[in-house]
Amino acid sequence: MVNQVRFVRRDKVDKYTNIKVKLISIVAAFFIMSLFLIMLKINPKDAFIGMIKGAFGSPLRIRQTTIKAVPLIITSLGILTAFKMKFWNIGGEGQILMGAFGASILALFYNGFNSTTLLLLMALSAAVFGGLYALISAVLKIYFKTNETIVTLMLNYIALKFITYLQYGPWKDKKALGFPKIANFPDKALLPNLLGVNVGWIIALILIILVYIFMNHTKKGYEIAIIGESINTARYAGINIKAVTILCVFLSGALCGITGFIQSSGVNGTLSVEIAGGVGYTAIIIAYLSNLKEPFILIVSVLFAALLQGSSYIETSLKIPNSAALILQSLILFCILSSEIFTTYRLKFKD
Amino acid sequence: MKKIAVFLLCAVLIFTFAGCSNSSNTQSQKEDKKVKVGFIYVGPIGDGGYTYAHDQGRLYLEKELGVETIYKESVKEDKAEVEKVVEDMIDQGATIIFGTSFGFQEGLLSSAKKHPDIKFLHCSGYETAENMGQYFGKIEQMRYLTGIVAGLKTKTNKIGYVAAFPIPEVIRGINAFTLGVKSVNKDATVKVVWTNTWYDPAKEKDAAIALIDDKCDVITQHQDTAGPQQAAESRGVFSIGYNSDMSKTAPKANMTSAVWNWGPYYVKTVKEIMDGTWKSGKYWGGIEDGVVDIAPLTQVAPENAKEAVEKAKEDIKSGKLVIFKGPIKDQTGALKVEDGKTMTDDEVWNMDYFIEGVEGSIPKK
């Protein structure tokens, strides 16, 4: 009789097991989701088909999915850059907000340029603000040995409260009759569209290539990887760890900052507390599921965006509550993420 | 090897998606030519208050006209978000779209410009376009009536008002309520706290508790949920609800509620649009249209209240009682509306000051 089950670490994780576990986890996710949907008296088949239709069923829906995928891609690239060095940047959310803030200063108050120049300056400002905001955690880590996970996480809240302060206080739009919102950007500070979606998607594709080249084919990218593998090796090889850390974390924050620029200039048309909307956290999951590989970030982000767009679609088409749609999203995630434990450990049955 | 696994996982997902989407093509053809009406809500339909009231209207519309409706809950008051939801709804065949929260205005207006063939109706805002109308009701009439109930009930002469945003709609309601209180109880004051949210049950409740701690013994609200009612119930004080009849949520506290009855308006408007007689404009109905009402007084309401409320209600209906009629003084005691003068609709719509008897302040613009 089996009376005890233990987790035993696998000596090595082979391809076959990995695929098997992932597939089982997806099947399990769909099974649990089906049970949940049946509880809601909805035919699971309708729901799943509805999600796919909602994400890819028409040119408009594909555009909506793309709009959702762009911030996920760019932010995940930012997270990946830091994670490669085993610098746990949980602060994407705050860096997006500060990036959007950097872009907004120009768009709202110093916009005396032509559109192209203004947009380029806004992107630059967003990258610098996002990068510098991330640097706070790097500097604290280098000089005071603080834990960057905690620091970046807490900085998210500071950024959020800062933008809230602006929205409810000094930057509140006087024309909104007391409703707390920041004034809209002038038209020339808005990203133009290409194929019906703001050009953010082109920026995202270019950034994937740039980050890929930087991380895999440049000296600095190599040094980042070495520090991530073993800090002692890096030291022995004579790498200037402080300098590389600062560069790497700045780039990580700058990429997140660019997300803030695209969201404020291309999607919202202004700065608001809603601008990051959890992207900074979702990006961590995406970077992780992509196994820190740039090309996979594209695929996983698109699938993620499809999941968000698809579940939003079935909310209206099948009239399921908003909260139920969120549960469906979380179920898929939960199953895929928790399956990770079975790829690194196996179950040992003792009798 | 992990990357290969992830890649395969993605491939599998993509193929499943692709495979399924082929088989689903037949489904979309089934969608017939029925008029489809979309509703954009700021909270969940189960909020027991504001969104619930609109959703009751939606169900009434479905029942009366047999049109098809779709809705989306908990949409953020954010331009991009609203535009996205509108696109999704049009994509799903909606030709008439109701947006039920103030903060949807910008998104609806820009969508209206983009889709001249779709009709947009926005609740509680001020912007209109050829294909976008505004609608709201004179809930202040009901606020006045509930103010009478509160004024008669309070012992501490302090009434707490949990309010969402410092915008004219809310300010107007607070002033009307205070006038109602004052009409029966000159000594009572109405204390206001801002939550800066329409929908946040916990925050609304906390705000009410803070007011109760400050010796308020009647609580009312301009919020979407029954959170403040529950606070009153748990602290053993009394309350007045808003949006829907909230007596079930707080049976020992709730005395009455100022309620919305959107059904008839939705039916009338959608019918007009279908007949082609609809014209853009600002609808602002009162008790005479039945769009606003006061919920039946409960057992905890003061005994003499019923009579006073009935009388005032009749007077409002007949036009004998006008809520915003001078003399009206602001908080500093300055005369804002002269004796015998009535405020114009526009003045009422843009009210941005508190009247005498309100305790609290409006953040500077």
Q: How much of chain A, in percent, has pLDDT values that exceed 70? A: 98
In tens, the pLDDT along B207-226 reads: 999 999 999 999 999 999 99
pLDDT band at B274 (very low <50, low <70, confident <90, very high): very high
Residue A170, preceding bond cis, omega within 30 degrees? no
- Closest by CA position to B115, among listed B98, B132, B99, B128: B132
Q: How much of chain A, in percent, has pLDDT values that exceed 90? A: 49
More confident residue, A101 or A351: A101
Paired tokens of A346: 């196996």
Paired tokens of A147: 């834990």
User: How far, in Å, CA of B44 to CA of B65, rounded?
Assistant: 24
User: How far, in Å, CA of B36 to CA of B265, rounded?
Assistant: 17
Lowest-confidence region among A84-88, A128-132, A317-321, B87-91: A317-321
Beta sheet of B282-285, edge-to-edge order: B68-72, B36-40, B96-99, B119-123, B132-137, B282-285
State residue B4's pLDDT score: 53
Lowest-confidence region among A166-180, A195-209, B254-268: A166-180
CB contact under 8 A, A315 and B72: yes
Phi, psi of A111, rounded to the nearest 5 degrees: -105, 25
User: How far, in Å, CA of A313 to CA of A60, rounded?
Assistant: 12
**Would you tell me the crossing angle of helices B79-91 and B105-114 to the nearest 10 degrees?**
50
**Residues in chain A closer than 8 A to B168 (CB atoms):** 177-178
State residue B315's pLDDT score: 94
**Residues in chain B closer than 8 A to A168 (CB atoms):** 196, 363
pLDDT band at A194 (very low <50, low <70, confident <90, very high): confident
pLDDT band at B190 (very low <50, low <70, confident <90, very high): very high
Distance from CA of B179 to the nearest CA of A (A): 22
Over residues A213-218, mean pLDDT: 94
Distance from CA of A317 to the nearest CA of B (A): 7
Specify whether the CB–CB gap between B228 and B219 falls below 8 A: yes
State residue A322's pLDDT score: 83
Specify whether the CB–CB gap between A179 and B169 falls below 8 A: no
Lowest-confidence region among A36-45, A141-150, A170-179, B315-324: A170-179
- Closest by CA position to B177, among listed B153, B211, B149: B149
Half-sphere exposure of B330 (CA within 13 A, CB side): 13
Specify whether the CB–CB gap between A106 and A121 falls below 8 A: yes
Specify whether the CB–CB gap between B108 and B280 falls below 8 A: no
State residue B30's pLDDT score: 41
A11–chain B Cβ distance below 8 A for any pair: no
- Closest by CA position to B80, among listed A348, A271, A107: A271
Phi, psi of B344, rounded to the nearest 5 degrees: -75, 160
Domain B139-259+294-359 has CATH 3.40.50.720: no
pLDDT band at B26 (very low <50, low <70, confident <90, very high): very low
State residue A43's pLDDT score: 87
State residue B7's pLDDT score: 52
Over residues B194-217, mean pLDDT: 94
Specify whether the CB–CB gap between B294 and B259 falls below 8 A: yes
CB contact under 8 A, B363 and A168: yes
Paired tokens of A140: 């604290």
pLDDT at B265 exceeding the cut of 70? yes
Lowest-confidence region among A38-47, A151-160, B273-282, B292-301: A38-47
pLDDT band at B27 (very low <50, low <70, confident <90, very high): very low
CB contact under 8 A, A321 and B46: yes
Distance from CA of B84 to the nearest CA of A (A): 8
A306–chain B Cβ distance below 8 A for any pair: yes
Q: Which CATH superfamily is domain B36-138+262-289 in?
A: Response regulator (3.40.50.2300)
State residue B1's pLDDT score: 47
Tell me the residues of chain B between 159 and 188 that have a Cβ less than 8 Å away from chain A: 165-168, 171
Paired tokens of B52: 């619930």
State residue A17's pLDDT score: 77
CB contact under 8 A, A56 and B79: no
State residue A350's pLDDT score: 66
User: How far, in Å, CA of B167 to CA of B222, rounded?
Assistant: 11
CA distances from B303 to A274, B247, B254, B308, B312 (A): 48, 17, 14, 10, 16
State residue B5's pLDDT score: 54
Same fold, B36-138+262-289 and B139-259+294-359: yes
A44–chain B Cβ distance below 8 A for any pair: no
User: How far, in Å, CA of B190 to CA of A103, rounded?
Assistant: 43
Q: A210: helix, coil or strand?
A: helix
State residue A198's pLDDT score: 87
Check residue A161 and give left, alpha or beta (phi > 0: left; psi -120 to 50: alpha).
alpha
In single-letter form, the type of residue at position A2 comes to: V
pLDDT at B18 exceeding the cut of 60? no
State residue B28's pLDDT score: 41
In tens, the pLDDT along A137-152 reads: 999 999 999 999 999 9
Place of tokens 């969201």: A263
In tens, the pLDDT along A23-79 reads: 888 888 889 989 988 988 888 888 889 889 989 988 888 998 999 999 999 999 999
User: How far, in Å, CA of A348 to CA of A326, rounded?
Assistant: 35
Mean pLDDT, rounded, of chain A: 89
- Closest by CA position to B54, among listed B73, B36, B35: B73
Which residues in A92-128 are b (16+ Cβ under 10 Å) and which e? Answer: bbbbbbbbbbbbbbbbbeebeeeeeebbebbbbbbbb
pLDDT band at A335 (very low <50, low <70, confident <90, very high): confident
CB contact under 8 A, B21 and A317: no
pLDDT band at B9 (very low <50, low <70, confident <90, very high): low
Give me the residue spans of the domains in chain B: 36-138+262-289, 139-259+294-359
CB contact under 8 A, A22 and B6: yes
Query: What domains are defined for chain A?
Result: 1-42+321-351 (no CATH), 67-319 (1.10.3470)
State residue B33's pLDDT score: 67
What secondary structure does DSSP assign to B179-199, as a single string?
HHHHHH-TT-EEEEEE-S-SS
pLDDT at B113 exceeding the cut of 60? yes
**Residues in chain A closer than 8 A to B122 (CB atoms):** none
Q: How much of chain B, in percent, has pLDDT values that exceed 90? A: 78
User: How far, in Å, CA of B182 to CA of A86, rounded?
Assistant: 66
pLDDT at B10 exceeding the cut of 60? no
